Chain A
Amino acid sequence: MRHILSILLENESGALSRVAGLFSARGYNIESLTVAPTEDPSLSRMTLVTSGSDEVIEQIMKQVNKLIDVVKLVLLTESDHIERELMLVKTQARGEAREEVKRLADIFRARIIDVDAGTYTVEVTGTGQKLDAFLEAVGAANVIEVVRTGLSGIGRGDNALRV
């Protein structure tokens, strides 16, 4: 099962490598990982997407929690939450594609943020599935370059992860 971990960790040099090192050393997989400072500059927020059986996920939670730099963590996928990912796509924009990609961008509520004679650069936000669907709709032949941020997530309602 796919799961999303939200982790608050000390904003110390090396903290990221402790988490990443733990995953590789213990053979856990990382589908995506994003990290950036929070409103409190002493803390970083990491969102990590992984997968595994319930037992494996439980071990992952315990092992991550055991890292001295980790202040708090939750399994976002355990309760109501919102997932978002940002993607920048450079596409072909000649001939039919010029109209078609624009039309798709509208349907997906994406934005074309850069244009030249032969290409568009499109910004798409949404769940991972939505981004996948956009790429599929545009078609591999039209896609030149893809940059994805990896997933970010947050709990719904007053469900907050803070110190």
Chain B
Amino acid sequence: MELTGAEILVRCLKEEGVKHVFGYPGGAVLNIYDTLNAQDDVDHILVRHEQGATHAADGYARATGKPGVVLVTSGPGATNAVTGIATAFMDSIPMVIITGQVPTHAIGSDAFQEVDAVGITRPCVKHNFLVKDIKDLALTMKKAFHVATTGRPGPVVVDVPKDVTTDRYAFEYPKKIEMRSYKPASKGHTGQVRKAMDMILAARKPMIYSGGGVVLDKSHEVFTEFCRLLGYPVTNTLMGLGAFPGTDPQFVGMLGMHGTYEANMGMHHCDVLIAIGARFDDRVTGNIEKFCPHAQIVHIDIDPSSIAKTVKVDVPIVGAVGPVLRQLNRMIRESERKPDEKALAEWWKQIEEWRATDCLRYDRASKRIKPQYVMEELYRVTGGKAYVTSDVGQHQMWAAQFYKFDLPNRWINSGGLGTMGFGLPAALGVKLALPDEEVVCVTGEASIIMCIQELSTALQYGLPVKVVNLNNGYMGMVRQWQEFFYQKRYAMSYMEALPDFVKLAESFGHVGMKIEKPGDVTGALEEAMAMKDRLVFMDFITDPEENVYPMIPAGAGQNEMILV
């Protein structure tokens, strides 16, 4: 039997086990919408802006590990989606984005709502396709999901011209797919793994530095086993939080620009660095010239181009984190050699001294609400079990520093691109995937307004997330840089003319709360969390000039942190 292109597309989604599609209709995708409307297997979530669709699908993917799926129309639908596609690309999130396109015969004629979606998205996708012939549609969809979810994951765009959605063709979904040009590695090279083991066991001042790759590969268990086997200090990147329990004393906190003093000093002084599923981002390394001056480096990553990109590596291992660590754990267990207990004890003693600086301290006696305090209380009230999404700025760093993630996939933020506006739609995506979990969006008054329209989506689909707005009246992170590096010239970073967030939340059909005194923080959080079926927007009026400490200023080394 022949199906229309639209029907084939929806059947492909069904075959891939897709339950939810986030999207927004328009002329080029009307046939697809008409088909979606006539079936019950795939639910469509109508967002209020295509950027919201991409972030929601992204949050969905980060929380579940399943690909997020987006459907938008041609032209402005596609361009509105670009920010979210780039966000997913930078953090290697599996997504499939279907963009409508003008009919094949009109392509290239500057037709109404025509943009070159493949061209525009090319630099910010793992791969993209233009389907010019219905015969290729099913195979292309299969490839799209395959490429998005395997190897180093990433977003894949499938651009579908309108006439392809009405053409007819027999539907056959390939069970398996082979692509001669795409064969991601999995297991590491045994010789290299053995070399790594030798280097790791010979270390006297080791550091384990892991990133988002451990989370993406769903390898936190084998990773934790690896860390426990060795007893070495563990630090995570912003993207890697939760891969190792944040409450474990072996964890020395996040590293990087706003990482802990002990993590960064540990990096600077270590003699062997074990980098796992991390990419030596500039926010992690600080000044690359001064990075880990004493260390030999083992680097495990699935993407060869991440290895030795900015930092020279002594033992590179290309492979997926899980299989490589399983190999490594086995070798370490079978090996006669053991880590040098005495050296390690010395090293830990040094690390504890650094830890004793208590680099995350803040003024607990302040009459103003301290944002750090709100994060600590949020952690307490939610029992450390919430899924926390965030926007971008100071609040993001405070959430990362003060909410101790014991499990992966719970901390959902835009690390690579740093996209303001990510938090709320991402939270909706998480809540949709995991309706029984507590989902909290930590945000700032500037960021939240970038995708505030999604409060409407939350109402329509009954997604009772909690919004914690750390309202300092400033684009706080911008203000902090202006305070430190521009002699307090606060150019354009003050948020004038802010809305009344309580009324705003109410007008969208939700509950709004305004909290102005430190003594009211805990009660407000408890009250909000108790409202299980309502979205509660908590507007915390916080100390306007609080800064994120500690900090590695731009151009400095990891041992040159500014402390409180």
Contact = CB atoms under 8 A, between A and B. Distances in A.
A55 B308 contact: yes
Nearest to B124: A25
Nearest to A18: B122
B122 A69 contact: no
9 contacts: A10-B181, A14-B122, A18-B122, A62-B304, A62-B305, A62-B307, A65-B305, A68-B181, A71-B181
A62 B303 CA distance: 9
A58 interface: yes
A102 to B, nearest CB: 47
B305 A66 contact: yes
B189 to A, nearest CB: 16
Interface string A1-36: 000000001100110011001000100000000000
Interface in A115-163: 163
B356 interface: no
A9 B181 contact: yes
B492 interface: no
Contacts of A13: 130
Given A14-B130, A25-B123, 16 more contacts: A14-B118, A17-B122, A21-B122, A55-B312, A59-B305, A59-B309, A62-B304, A65-B304, A65-B305, A66-B304, A68-B179, A68-B182, A69-B181, A70-B181, A71-B180, A163-B180
A114 B23 CA distance: 61
How many chain B residues sit at the interface, stated as a range, is 10 to 19
A69 to B, nearest CB: 6
Interface of B: 118-119, 122-123, 126-127, 130, 147, 179-182, 303-305, 307-309, 312
A63 interface: yes
Interface residues of A, number: 20
Contacts of B147: 68
A163 B130 CA distance: 25
Contacts of A65: 304-305
B127 A68 contact: yes
Nearest to B303: A66
Q: Which of A13, A62, A65 has the most CB of B within 10 A?
A: A62
Contacts of B123: 21, 25
Contacts of B181: 9-10, 68-71
Contacts of A59: 305, 308-309
A120 B234 CA distance: 73
Interface string A50-87: 00000100110011011011110000000000000000
B488 to A, nearest CB: 35
Contacts of A58: 308
Contacts of B309: 59
A78 to B, nearest CB: 17
Nearest to B182: A68
A49 to B, nearest CB: 21
A99 to B, nearest CB: 51
